[in-house]
Structure 1
Amino acid sequence: MRRGTNLPRMGDFNQSVILDAIRRSSDGLSRVELVDLIGLSPQAVSNITRRLLAEELIVEAGKSGSGPGKPRTILRINPSGRYAIGVHLDPALMTVLLMDLMGVVLHRKVREIPQRTEPGGIIDAIAGEVSALLAESSVDPARIEGIGVAPPGPIDQPTGAVVDPPLLLGWHRVPLRDALAEATGMPVLVEKDVIAAAVAEIWGGGRESTESFVFVYIGTGIGSGIVMGGEVIRGTSGNAGEIGHIVTDCNGPECACGMRGCIAVTCDPQSLVLEAERLGVLNEERHRNGDVADGLLQLCTAADQGNDLAVEILNRAAVRTARAVSVLANALDVDRVVFGGPFWEPLASRYLEVVPSSLLGFRAARSIHPVEVVSTGIGDDVAAVGAACLMLERTLGPRAERLMLAR
């Protein structure tokens, strides 16, 4: 939990700290509790909460206290105080959703992306889904912070452009942020899907969420989101978390980068499906149009039904994934690893059996502290939820840059 500061000119940061504390409390907080929790003076808390009430970001929700003394007024988030739209752009699927200030998804649309669709066609499709989503809701447009978009990386953060992602063909420096802003007339923020997923985990983790963790994102590709001290590590260019070329098996298949056994050719869903086809577990024509999600589901079903080769493929992939995760866990010294993403669910039960014990063997600090391995509680839409959270976080979250004083 972040604490505020009574230094002058810290109003924006303090306001966001108070708002975040109230949001994370399931029962709400009184002003007295905020003073104790945040470390601000009673006058500062009173002034800030008055502003938040006036902006309808929080509401007074009854009294508490049965002992001596004046009952305390409980403050809670006003879910309808602000909204955000989240978009997850996976090479196979597009998810668009509308979320309130408490992280509740009010409306959601998912559609497949045909292969070899031009970037302009996809941007137009996103704008159309946003328009349809708003038409279904009764939300005041003035309360929508904007649209957060989570495409695969790499991205050029200053321009909001998507730069040659391996699985989105033809996306060479596509100005996604500006093009979508022009198409919708709304503010747009673009961040990588793995960073969005990590942000969603922070927002959805509640008051007791860990401060430092790695989010392992399993979609069409595999990436990671890194959280240290309660904040996402974005890196110099906003592209931190690219782990596709960590070697997990030096005798594995050759990767396009020139090495052998990288995550990109040993652990991602497409690699598992191709291996299953090569070994005869799957007939290449059994999954429709080469659909990776369908092939992965069939592979996992075969393993559940006792197919020894399918079990071997998945167990080997789980151990390889644990090796890659151990590199991150050892380098960053985190206490939790969270798995999620659109292709995670079919793998979850088997990976959660194999990865924790395998990870233990690879970790340097295993005798000092454990590392918890869990599934995200947010579900398959974690990147889209995170994209919406990004818009709210930019305006309302207690990020470190708010502490920077102007000269």
Structure 2
Amino acid sequence: MISEGPGRGANSNSLRLYNERTLLQRLRRAGEASKADLARWAKLTNTAVGSIVQSLEDAQLIEPAGRRQDGQRGQPAGLYRINHEGAYGIGVRLDRTSIESVLIDLGGNILARESHDLLLPDPERALAIVRKDVARLLTVLDAGQRRRFMGVGLAQPYNLGSWLRELDLKADFRVWDEVDFGAMLGQAVHHPVFRENDGNAAAIAELFFGVGREESDFLYVFIGPALGAGAVMGGESLRGATGNAADLGLMPVPASLLDSAPPAERRWDILLSRASLNSLSRHLRHHGVEVRGNGDLEACVKAGRAELNEWLDDCVDALVPSIRATLAVLDLPVVVIDCDIDGGLVGELLRRVDAGLRLIAPEARQTPRLLRGSFRADAGAIGAASLPMFFNFSPRADVLRGRSHRHPLETTHA
């Protein structure tokens, strides 16, 4: 973290920190910029920007990027850019059927990874796996880089023990709803741990490293084993009272008409029962197709199987009104869609969802722009790893309120 400077009041400290982070965000979006560019964008004096730029450079968060060569008069302006080696973070993505950990730099580049395809074990065994993975990933960093390590991000679905019928899982994860795995992990690895649900974490990755470089307001939808989602408004992740804002997967929808769908237990089902890769796997297996993992799913997509199109029809039929309802409440102009697999699936989803939204667009309301997500299968892990970066370097409103040092779900190590 950058020092806030001695002898300043709390409000001055908060404003200084907010301005530092605002300039970092501007640089991340622009790629390269001069001090004059930053002063103009941030509406700060040249003197203030010069002081902040020097602090950011001293902290190794930014670096010189040469001089502007655009034929202007006088001395060409010096340019700056984000120093990718200025900070590092580890992300741990826990899912009901996998554990994945990645090490990233401040540019969002994956430097190393560990992954395990397995039914999520009990918390103690999962902790042993993750602890070893984090230790292995840290060996990639030298002593100087270790000093710029910002912590561990943990992304996992909340309420892991729920919705197993809808996800076609024959397992009991209820013990996970009784433990604080973030606190356990913080004590085990002796680093700060930042926790979010997987949908919010992936949305934060898009905000920090992906489409957020150009968009400040969007709904993010990720189709994985379940369905994760998050909302970004004004450049900030919308969390809600319990961290479940924009939890699109629980949107009430009519029961699926697919012959593979489990019998409806009530009049309304939830969206993740129809719009998830687990529901696709269930439908394929119902028709005798062997599915052992995402590779098999992607092969079915590329083959254009009839069962895939049946699932797509059912998925989009539920997904489109759910997105429309969410946008009616949140008033967001952009929807980002990503998925754990591709093979043409994301493009087809974008096409069908766009057509569906246009068909039901209410009077006086435009259809949102649809964008492809940036990270595909890496979205969850990069989302987790982006949490230490985001909560240390993003100009959130909490900074101005003097609560810049602790994310509401940060766990400090013992």
The interval holding the TM-score normalised by the smaller chain is 0.7 to 0.9
2:325 equivalent among 324, 327, 344: 327
Aligned partners of 1:383, 1:251: CA distance in 2, in Å? 27
Contact 1:341 1:381 in 2 (8 A): no
Q: 1:48 to 1:327 in 2, by over 3 A?
A: same
Corresponding position of 2:183? 178
Contact 1:273 1:299 in 2 (8 A): no
1:317 equivalent among 297, 315, 318: 315
Corresponding position of 1:265? 273
2:351 equivalent among 350, 353, 363: 353
Matches within 5 A, 1:124-135: 124-135=128-139
Aligned partners of 2:369, 2:27: CA distance in 1, in Å? 27
Corresponding position of 1:339? 337
Contact 1:34 1:45 in 2 (8 A): yes
- TM-score, normalised relative to structure 2: 0.83
Corresponding position of 2:370? 373
Contact 1:254 1:260 in 2 (8 A): no
Q: 1:397 to 1:314 in 2, by over 3 A?
A: same
Q: Using the TM superposition, name which of 144-153 and 238-247 deviates more.
A: 238-247
**Amino acid corresponding to residue 122 of structure 1 in structure 2:** A
Contact 2:246 2:326 in 1 (8 A): no
Say whether residues 1:85 and 2:90 are aligned partners.
yes
- TM-score, normalised relative to structure 1: 0.85
Q: 1:368 to 1:197 in 2, by over 3 A?
A: same
Q: Cα distance, 1:137 vs. partner?
A: 4.0
Aligned partners of 1:353, 1:59: CA distance in 2, in Å? 41
Q: Cα distance, 1:256 vs. partner?
A: 7.8
Aligned partners of 2:163, 2:310: CA distance in 1, in Å? 28
1:219 equivalent among 205, 224, 229: 224
Aligned partners of 1:345, 1:90: CA distance in 2, in Å? 22
Aligned partners of 1:360, 1:107: CA distance in 2, in Å? 42
Q: Cα distance, 1:374 vs. partner?
A: 2.4
Q: Using the TM superposition, name which of 192-201 and 312-321 deviates more.
A: 312-321
Aligned partners of 1:349, 1:342: CA distance in 2, in Å? 13
1:391 equivalent among 385, 388, 391: 388
Q: Cα distance, 1:330 vs. partner?
A: 2.2
Relative contact order, higher structure (CA 8 A, sep 6+): 2
Q: 1:330 to 1:176 in 2, by over 3 A?
A: same
Q: 1:250 to 1:132 in 2, by over 3 A?
A: closer
Q: 1:12 to 1:248 in 2, by over 3 A?
A: same
Corresponding position of 1:275? 283
Aligned partners of 1:171, 1:276: CA distance in 2, in Å? 29
Q: Using the TM superposition, name which of 184-193 and 340-349 deviates more.
A: 340-349
Q: 1:335 to 1:138 in 2, by over 3 A?
A: same
Q: 1:300 to 1:185 in 2, by over 3 A?
A: same
Corresponding position of 1:36? 40
Q: Using the TM superposition, name which of 35-44 and 208-217 deviates more.
A: 208-217
Give 3-state SS (helix, strand or coil) of 1:61's partner: strand
Q: Cα distance, 1:324 vs. partner?
A: 1.6
Corresponding position of 2:57? 53
2:101 equivalent among 89, 96, 102: 96
Aligned partners of 2:183, 2:347: CA distance in 1, in Å? 41
Q: 1:71 to 1:274 in 2, by over 3 A?
A: closer
Give 3-state SS (helix, strand or coil) of 1:34's partner: helix
Q: 1:400 to 1:267 in 2, by over 3 A?
A: same
Say whether residues 1:236 and 2:241 are aligned partners.
yes
Q: Using the TM superposition, name which of 80-89 and 369-378 deviates more.
A: 369-378
Aligned pair count? 379
Q: Cα distance, 1:199 vs. partner?
A: 0.6
1:402 equivalent among 384, 399, 402: 399
Give 3-state SS (helix, strand or coil) of 1:315's partner: helix
Give 3-state SS (helix, strand or coil) of 1:224's partner: strand
**Amino acid corresponding to residue 314 of structure 1 in structure 2:** L
Q: Using the TM superposition, name which of 200-209 and 78-87 deviates more.
A: 200-209
Matches within 5 A, 1:157-168: 164=161, 166=163, 168=173
- Per-residue displacement from partner, 1:106-143 (whole Å, max 9, x unpaired)? 11222212x26111111111111111122244362111
- Per-residue displacement from partner, 1:171-215 (whole Å, max 9, x unpaired)? 023221221112111111110110011111112236752221111
Aligned partners of 1:84, 1:196: CA distance in 2, in Å? 13
Aligned partners of 1:211, 1:273: CA distance in 2, in Å? 34
Aligned partners of 1:257, 1:236: CA distance in 2, in Å? 29
Contact 1:165 1:171 in 2 (8 A): no
Q: Cα distance, 1:341 vs. partner?
A: 3.6
Structure 2 runs not aligned, ≥5 long: 1-10, 165-172, 404-414
Aligned partners of 2:342, 2:237: CA distance in 1, in Å? 21
- Per-residue displacement from partner, 1:22-50 (whole Å, max 9, x unpaired)? 12222x11111111111011121111111
Contact 1:95 1:381 in 2 (8 A): no
Q: 1:143 to 1:116 in 2, by over 3 A?
A: closer
Aligned partners of 2:35, 2:256: CA distance in 1, in Å? 60
Corresponding position of 1:121? 125
Q: Cα distance, 1:347 vs. partner?
A: 3.0
Aligned partners of 1:235, 1:182: CA distance in 2, in Å? 27
Q: Cα distance, 1:259 vs. partner?
A: 3.6
Corresponding position of 1:157? none
